[in-house]
A and B are shown apart, each in its own frame.
Chain A
């Protein structure tokens, strides 16, 4: 091995490694969900209680930021989690699907309270 090659190998030009730090500087880095606040998950169902697949589910936070996802084959949705500044009552869940209308959203987890880590909702839709 040449001296030049040895020097280059030893030097390592750069290896900017993922640094999982909270909102840290730098464009590199992996997500590391280690300090989450409230999470939202649940199901979208039709009037007969069957899952509605690929329904759009929106989590609207008070100041206007929205999260949008779609239900899976079992009608389930989930959002990855918000930080601790978001309280359960700050978030409104709605669902939408072509040829359906949202009938009601049932919040299965009691709103508020320090112990609440996740909120489950059931969004009921009816054809029409």
Chain B
């Protein structure tokens, strides 16, 4: 999905901007207005985004029940702003700039002529005909690109099969902005690929100039879902793919870059952005890191993906230390996706994953040596297992998610004995996780479209459905108010759910936002929710206004 673009400073006669009170006091510098269209005179749930000329920061509010929007929570500075909107099915009736302060600005919308360009992956899932099993493999695709690419393609089944073969040669840390080849192509099952290729050729444009099925859309935000402020911080290169975003004690946002060997730092008060480049570990291998976690000293640890090994950033002197894999582990498939150093002060050990072998590794920081533990050694042959999200308890016992299958596991730090717990939902593919202050393990059941909690004392699960089908939550975070937050690569929506009541609200994000790690800063009031736009090169902060 693309947000409606605005050309810089372009002024269109088709857009009516009525700045009735443009002479307001500079220090108030507010922007208010209303959204209208020929189809709806008062449009609720339209996201209105404003970016000051020359700034990297975009503020977004949502129109309320009477179609009115108010940027007061954004505390805009006076100046000229570019405006854009998001309301599926609509676009701005011309480009828009406005001098702030301004009041009662009327933004007129018109029906879009290219609805397909606005659909989220979730809306493509809902629109496309086919069985759940036919659609299921597509959940892999959105890690790298949107479904719009698939839907607009003209490949027949044979050509599509060749495309899928090519996809198997790319590293998972690939986006449209940067393609990275694996050292060894991923093995694939030909009948599975043939079936998928035939299905994709049945839903794309290989047989006509338009789709044979209606394009369905999700409803716009209403009520509580409109009470939100979203702030986006654009990063300086499209090849910066923020994966994990976490704030430190000072409120500074740090992020891992999925496509490049950099660690990023963003001051949300000023928008100041700094990058720290970590050394190349494996020349020629795909670059970038995935998980980023802090240890008890506030230092950042990065899982170095196909560069392999772990990287620690010392926040006191801004230096990196690399913990390389030993040669016998470091083959072409070696890949460290996750790292968990939070309790390393207990025993000097840091947990990580080795995706190539589908095992857990544990680093002894002092010696730099890794030990390998296989929690899946008794799983049936022919099954895929992929250790993914990691959490550690106060004794540095590990909880790991098996993204390939339907179990989570606990690994004892002292004995390394493993206990495996099948999730209640079958084929759930547990993904990222976090441990709350009460020791409970919260995690996303990616393929089951659920969020879940594991109680290590009772050894039982609880699950909650994501309210929108085909959301495929990637990660969860339980905040200080015992509300659970989740995001996904599919829906462009942030889920806020009260586990005690099951009540939830979904906040639509202003742009196509491929969400990975979700994080909530509990130090602010209200709490603030942070994610990276993995394909959009921006950091996103969401502030609920209730």
Q: Does B49 contact A (CB under 8 A)?
A: no
Residues of chain B lying within 8 A (CB to CB) of residue A67:
419-422
Residues of chain A lying within 8 A (CB to CB) of residue B380:
33-37, 80-83
Residues of chain A lying within 8 A (CB to CB) of residue B141:
14-17
Residues of chain A lying within 8 A (CB to CB) of residue B154:
9
Q: Is the CB of B153 within 8 A of A34?
A: no
Residues of chain A lying within 8 A (CB to CB) of residue B136:
30
Whole-angstrom distance between the Cβ of A85 and the nearest chain B Cβ: 7
Stretch from B74-82, B168-176, B242-250, B501-509 at the A interface: B168-176
Task: Tell me, in angstroms, the Cα distance from A30 to B427 when the chains sit together.
Answer: 8
Q: Is the CB of A29 within 8 A of B176?
A: no
Task: Tell me, in angstroms, the Cα distance from A65 to B422 when the chains sit together.
Answer: 14
Task: Tell me, in angstroms, the Cα distance from A84 to B98 when the chains sit together.
Answer: 69
Q: Is the CB of A26 within 8 A of B175?
A: no
Q: Is the CB of A20 within 8 A of B379?
A: no
Nearest residue in A to B461 (C-beta to C-beta)? Answer: A70
Kindly count the residue-residue contacts between A and B in the assembled complex, taking CB atoms under 8 Å apart. 203
Q: Is the CB of B174 within 8 A of A14?
A: yes
Digitize B183-210: 1 where CB-to-A-CB distance is under 8 Å, 0 elsewhere. 0101111001100100000000000000
Q: Is the CB of B153 within 8 A of A9?
A: yes
Whole-angstrom distance between the Cβ of B203 and the nearest chain A Cβ: 14
Nearest residue in A to B388 (C-beta to C-beta)? Answer: A27
CB-contact partner of B383 in A27, A31, A61, A85, under 8 A: A31
Q: Does A19 contact B (CB under 8 A)?
A: yes
Task: Tell me, in angstroms, the Cα distance from A67 to B378 when the chains sit together.
Answer: 10
Task: Tell me, in angstroms, the Cα distance from A68 to B168 when the chains sit together.
Answer: 35
A residues 77-110 touching B (CB-CB < 8 Å): 79-86
Q: Is the CB of A83 within 8 A of B150?
A: no
Classify the interface of chain B: helix, strand, loop or mixed: loop
Whole-angstrom distance between the Cβ of B66 and the nearest chain A Cβ: 38
Q: Does B131 contact A (CB under 8 A)?
A: no
Q: Does B328 contact A (CB under 8 A)?
A: no
CB-contact partner of A28 in B172, B174, B377, B427, under 8 A: B172
CB-contact partner of A17 in B140, B184, B378, B429, under 8 A: B140
Digitize B261-286: 1 where CB-to-A-CB distance is under 8 Å, 0 elsewhere. 00000000000000000000000000
Q: Is the CB of A82 within 8 A of B144?
A: no
Residues of chain A lying within 8 A (CB to CB) of residue B420:
65-68
Residues of chain B lying within 8 A (CB to CB) of residue A35:
380-382
Whole-angstrom distance between the Cβ of B45 and the nearest chain A Cβ: 28
Stretch from B159-167, B212-220, B229-237 at the A interface: B159-167
Nearest residue in A to B136 (C-beta to C-beta)? Answer: A30
Task: Tell me, in angstroms, the Cα distance from A24 to B384 when the chains sit together.
Answer: 7
Residues of chain B lying within 8 A (CB to CB) of residue A16:
140-141, 143-144, 167-168, 170, 172, 174, 186
Q: Is the CB of B415 within 8 A of A64?
A: yes
Q: Is the CB of B145 within 8 A of A15?
A: yes
CB-contact partner of A27 in B145, B403, B419, B421, under 8 A: B403
Q: Does A21 contact B (CB under 8 A)?
A: yes
Residues of chain B lying within 8 A (CB to CB) of residue A22:
381-383
CB-contact partner of B150 in A5, A12, A19, A81, under 8 A: A12
Residues of chain B lying within 8 A (CB to CB) of residue A66:
417-420
Task: Tell me, in angstroms, the Cα distance from A35 to B379 when the chains sit together.
Answer: 10
Q: Does B110 contact A (CB under 8 A)?
A: no
Digitize B364-397: 1 where CB-to-A-CB distance is under 8 Å, 0 elsewhere. 0000000000011111111111101000000000
Residues of chain A lying within 8 A (CB to CB) of residue B121:
none
From A15, A37, A64, A65, name the one whose CB has the most chain B CB atoms within 10 angstroms: A15
Residues of chain A lying within 8 A (CB to CB) of residue B239:
none
Whole-angstrom distance between the Cβ of B135 and the nearest chain A Cβ: 12
Q: Does A115 contact B (CB under 8 A)?
A: no
Nearest residue in A to B375 (C-beta to C-beta)? Answer: A65
Whole-angstrom distance between the Cβ of A110 and the nearest chain B Cβ: 21
Q: Does A47 contact B (CB under 8 A)?
A: no
Q: Is the CB of A15 within 8 A of B384?
A: no
| 8 interchain residue pairs of minimum CB distance | A14-B144, A25-B333, A29-B384, A35-B382, A36-B380, A15-B167, A13-B176, A34-B382
**16 sampled A-B residue pairs with Cβ under 8 A:** A9-B154, A14-B144, A17-B192, A18-B192, A19-B189, A20-B192, A22-B381, A25-B357, A28-B172, A30-B429, A31-B383, A31-B427, A35-B382, A54-B460, A65-B420, A83-B377
- A binding-site residues for B, Cβ under 8 Å: 1, 5, 8-10, 12-37, 54, 56, 61, 64-70, 79-86
